[in-house]
């Protein structure tokens, strides 16, 4: 069974959101079959950054992307979740 990595742009509610705490909340919300593959940050405008989250999931699971987005939107510090690239991985 292979794995895929899904990338999301996570938009915070404002520039005061602590990305360290937000990363922990995201990790805590992941289903048991998903794991963090990596994090990144991308500047948007006027001091606002988005958090880039890469999540590794099994490729044979269905409905996972919708489930992940729903879980992320339940976090109060997140204003918007934007799905990005989905790619296979060998790790």
Residue 27 and residue 70 in contact, taking contact as beta carbons nearer than 8 Å: no
* Domain carrying residue 36: 3-89
The number of residues making up the chain comes to 91
Composition of the chain by helix, strand, coil, percent to 5: 25, 50, 30
Whole-number percent of the chain with pLDDT over 90? 74
- pLDDT tens string for the chain (91 positions)? 689 999 999 999 999 999 999 999 999 999 999 999 999 999 998 888 999 999 999 988 888 888 999 999 999 999 999 999 989 887 6
Q: What is the pLDDT of residues 43-61, one digit of tens each?
A: 998 888 999 999 999 988 8
Question: Residue 66 is part of a domain; what is its CATH number?
Answer: 3.30.70.60
Q: In total, how many domains does the chain have?
A: 1
């Amino acid at each position: 069974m292979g794995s895929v990595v899904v990338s999301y742009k996570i938009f915070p509610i404002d520039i005061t959101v602590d990305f360290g705490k937000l990363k922990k909340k995201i990790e805590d919300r992941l289903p048991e079959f998903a794991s963090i593959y990596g994090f990144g940050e991308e500047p948007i405008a006027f001091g606002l950054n988005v958090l880039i989250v890469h999540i590794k999931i099994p490729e044979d699971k269905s409905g996972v992307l919708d489930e992940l987005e729903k879980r992320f939107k339940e976090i109060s510090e997140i204003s918007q979740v934007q799905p990005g690239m989905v790619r296979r991985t060998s790790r």
